[in-house]
């Protein structure tokens, strides 16, 4: 069985549980053009993600995430859970063609209030006091 680690914007850490469970597996991040357009990513966000990805052992592609992931020929995709509606949509599409293992996410912070995930600065404003007291 060939596993492929599917990296997405919510799981870009070196201690990603998928890297821990499948240390020999290749990893792939796809700059999903539909997500970039619908979420109106800024160039600053794209550069931040790209620079983060350069620190990880992974391939980076651009296009339709489902097409790119299925084109790898992997028999199993391994990723980390996300609350993103786009992530859930992609998982549904992928499961029609390939096994998808979703590992639990490691929480960055234990925050139980509402969050605005479209802007990091708004997110950080809410969680910073929880992290640093």
Q: Residues 84-132: pLDDT tens digits?
A: 889 999 999 999 999 999 999 877 677 777 777 677 788 778 888 877 8
Helix (H, G, I), strand (E, B) or coil at 63: strand
Q: How would you class 28 by CB atoms within 10 Å of its CB: exposed for 0-12, middle for 13-18, buried for 19 or more?
A: buried
- In this prediction the pTM is 0.83
CB 55 within 8 A of CB 19: no
Structural domains present in the chain: 3-107 (3.40.50.620)
Instruction: Please write the tens of the pLDDT for every residue from 34-84.
Output: 999 998 999 999 999 999 999 999 999 999 999 999 999 999 999 999 988
């Amino acid at each position: 069985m060939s596993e492929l680690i599917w990296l997405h914007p919510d799981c870009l850490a070196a201690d990603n549980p998928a890297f821990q469970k499948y240390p020999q597996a290749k990893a792939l991040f796809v700059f999903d053009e539909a997500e970039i357009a619908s979420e109106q990513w800024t160039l600053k966000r794209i550069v931040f993600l790209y620079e983060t990805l350069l620190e990880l052992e992974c391939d980076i592609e651009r296009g339709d995430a489902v097409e790119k992931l299925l084109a790898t020929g992997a028999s199993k995709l391994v990723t980390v859970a996300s609350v993103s509606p786009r992530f859930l949509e992609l998982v549904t599409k992928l499961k029609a063609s390939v096994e998808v293992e979703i590992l639990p996410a490691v929480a960055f912070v234990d925050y139980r209030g509402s969050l605005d995930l479209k802007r990091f600065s708004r997110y950080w404003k809410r969680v910073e006091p929880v992290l640093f007291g």
